[in-house]
Amino acid sequence: MSRQVVRSSKFRHVFGQPAKADQCYEDVRVSQTTWDSGFCAVNPKFVALICEASGGGAFLVLPLGKTGRVDKNAPTVCGHTAPVLDIAWCPHNDNVIASGSEDCTVMVWEIPDGGLTLPLREPVVTLEGHTKRVGIVAWHPTAQNVLLSAGCDNVILVWDVGTGAAVLTLGSDVHPDTIYSVDWSRDGALICTSCRDKRVRIIEPRKGTVVAEKDRPHEGTRPVRAVFVSDGKILTTGFSRMSERQVALWDTKHLEEPLSLQELDTSSGVLLPFFDPDTNIVYLCGKGDSSIRYFEITSEAPYLHYLSMFSSKESQRGMGYMPKRGLEVNKCEIARFYKLHERRCEPIAMTVPRKDAIPRLEEEMKKLQATVQELQKRVERLEETVQAK
């Protein structure tokens, strides 16, 4: 009786391919701020990086094709009076970006086509309502001009960017402590939050009510991240009581027990999850790690399947994730990350090899091995000849 040991999957052989040196963004001063955000946001037109700035907060916006060494005097977006903590591109307009800062404000900027030629100091609109620093900004996935912000005052505000007014306030009665992460559902009907009080909440923003919550999804005390995935499920990353990093999958209708819970390693960096709804793959990027793990989510047990891991030598200070419409699909690219080093931004393409590529690669490997063996024999014969003389 035959038994299948390896699970069949279209994405089993997905591999990461870092860009060549001339396709990276060199000599960028990545922010030294200790905050658990990606510090990078990308879309099909631009890449934005939060950078070091004296006397305020700034971030760099570069056209996607402008690779190579970045001029140290390159113009920045520099309207904040304190360090920028998070940035997010508008999904409906590739020229609009929002930023949250330690100066307690959210600013929305319009970047001209072709990038900046002069420093940009005047935002399109300034959103003032938080009393402490703003660490999270997230655009509504389907409605235009709707922006969410979360601050260290434990308040979530949903803004109408067109009027500059807050249309919804979720106060400290909902989140009594620091908010670690906020994520919109794919249709924008719900938001999922994780909080320092060790609870993950699912909130219906129109009513401002908590429809479901889970206490202590992970036993550890370190920050938890939560994102929506497909079919009404959420995925969380956190730490066990022994400080081992964990990833868990939950059904929002039955939050008593996880559908899947896996322990990964004992690193201390917070895992940033990025979910691709088209392939049902979730990528986990840890700050300070040198690797990207990826898992496939299915509708049948055990639900969460480890696929593989991309590793490199240098650790990452932050990570940006390209929307699907910015990928080169003719090269079988299913995801692209922008990895921040201390002085560099490196694109990493996640690619599915073509169906006929694997046998061809195996055949080429056999030919190379035969060539190596032949060269070794030649070297041995030359050595024997030298010794004989």
Give the CATH number, domain containing residue 129: 2.130.10.10
If asked whether residues 271 and 245 sit together in one domain, one would say: yes
Domain around 365 = 358-388
Q: How far apart are CA 136 and CA 380, in angstroms?
A: 64
Give the pLDDT band of residue 355 (cuts 50, 70, 90). low
**Structural domain count, the chain:** 2
If asked whether residues 20 and 152 sit together in one domain, one would say: yes
If asked whether residues 365 and 318 sit together in one domain, one would say: no
**Number of residues in the chain:** 389
pLDDT score at 4 = 42
If asked whether residues 366 and 241 sit together in one domain, one would say: no
- For residue 110 the two structure tokens come to 């319009």
**E strands, 199-259, in order:** 199-204, 209-215, 225-228, 233-239, 245-251
If asked whether residues 103 and 124 sit together in one domain, one would say: yes
If asked whether residues 35 and 73 sit together in one domain, one would say: yes
Q: Whole-prediction pTM value?
A: 0.86
If asked whether residues 370 and 285 sit together in one domain, one would say: no
DSSP state of 231: T
Backbone torsion region of residue 321, taken as left when φ is above 0, otherwise alpha when ψ lies between -120 and 50, otherwise beta: beta
> Which position has the higher pLDDT, 6 or 263?
263
pLDDT at 2 over 50: no
If asked whether residues 79 and 58 sit together in one domain, one would say: yes
CB burial of 41-70 (b: ≥16 within 10 Å; e: otherwise) equals: bbbebbbbbbbebeebbbbbbbebeebeeb
If asked whether residues 176 and 198 sit together in one domain, one would say: yes
If asked whether residues 264 and 373 sit together in one domain, one would say: no
- For residue 133 the two structure tokens come to 């620093």
Residue 10 lies in a domain: no
Residue 244 lies in a domain: yes
Where do we find the tokens 């600013």?
Answer: 107
Q: How far apart are CA 374 and CA 307, in angstroms?
A: 36
pLDDT at 287 over 70: yes
Residue 262 lies in a domain: yes
If asked whether residues 261 and 226 sit together in one domain, one would say: yes
